[in-house]
Amino acid sequence: MKKLSVVNSNNPQFITVNEEEEAQRIDNYLIKLLKNVPKSHIYRILRKGEVRVNKGRVKAAYRIQVGDIVRIPPIKLQITPVVTAGVKQLAWIDSSIVYEDSKLLIINKPSGLAVHGGSGISLGVIECLRQARPDAPLLELVHRLDRETSGCLLIAKKRSALRYLHQLFQTNQIQKTYVALVQGPWSGGVQHVKAALTKNMLSSGERIVRVDAQGKQAHSIFEPLEVFKNSTLVRVRLKTGRTHQIRVHASHIGHPIAGDEKYGDKEFNKIMKQHHVKRLFLHAQSLRFIHPDTDEVLLVEAPLHTDLTTVLEDLQRT
């Protein structure tokens, strides 16, 4: 992605769209190009016709094409200083990559790190990665993981790969597998949970998801792997990808996830703390999909971090 000097400048800038950038909506293109500019300002200059493509006005939904010349007007803003990742954060990036090629990379994200900055978070995975690789032409998140969830996070290095992988996610052609530690001994084997979900906003501004027959379809498959005295390690496969889906479905069937402060059981969480559970015990273990270049199945696994293996070792001893 190009770097622009139009912010707090007196001159407009003209950008020629290349192959890696084509087919994006112009609003999304500008949001990525002008990272420090609020979205409201970007939509304002689009509405006023200050952004031109090939000398003509365009609407926000216009999809840019190779060779388009985009005029971006000077923008006067008070810019917040960019937060720089520390040495440890940059070192973590390299050690966390579990797969990489010319089109994509997959990171084993730790719990507690957001995938991107915003809402009071200055740095996320993608900001750290971009600072670690300042010369990379493109680094974009393909999907999201909750801040508390660890594991496989897929990032595109080419615009064509981003479009392809988005399409796979939208058509449920990427198999996502998680492992979780849930409350109680499991019985009954594999369980399919099909409970529709809806998002709600509390008066405090906190987002919460609930089971609601009028909500969006959601399907999770739970499979017990190892049963302990007060808990069970399960594998979870997602057929849909709703916000907080696994956490809400697990709670819905009476097996909330250990360390879940939002949807979990307080007494169970207290017991699990005695077994060294210090975070949400939910890990995106693997991704499986057809690679955009080879047309072959790619299966990538992210090993459990030591904070989770320590818990399992303790449970196995008791």
- What positions carry a catalytic annotation? 146
C-alpha span between 112 and 283 (Å, rounded): 12
Which residue is listed with tokens 């909500």? Answer: 215
Which residue is listed with tokens 């809806």? Answer: 198
C-alpha span between 107 and 311 (Å, rounded): 22
Q: 3-state DSSP call for residue 87?
A: helix
Q: 3-state DSSP call for residue 84?
A: coil
Q: Which of 129, 132, 87 is nearest to 108 (CA)?
A: 129
Sign of CA dihedral 219, 220, 223, 224: negative
DSSP 22: T
Q: 3-state DSSP call for residue 183?
A: strand
Residue pair 162/170 in contact by the 8 Å Cβ criterion = no
Provide the strand spans (E) within the chain.
Answer: 13-16, 52-53, 56-57, 69-72, 97-100, 104-109, 140-141, 150-156, 175-183, 191-194, 197-201, 207-211, 219-227, 231-238, 282-290, 297-301
Provide the strand spans (E) within 7-149.
Answer: 13-16, 52-53, 56-57, 69-72, 97-100, 104-109, 140-141
Question: Measured at the alpha carbon of residue 306, what is the angle toward residues 100 and 115, in degrees to the nearest 5?
Answer: 50
C-alpha span between 298 and 174 (Å, rounded): 10
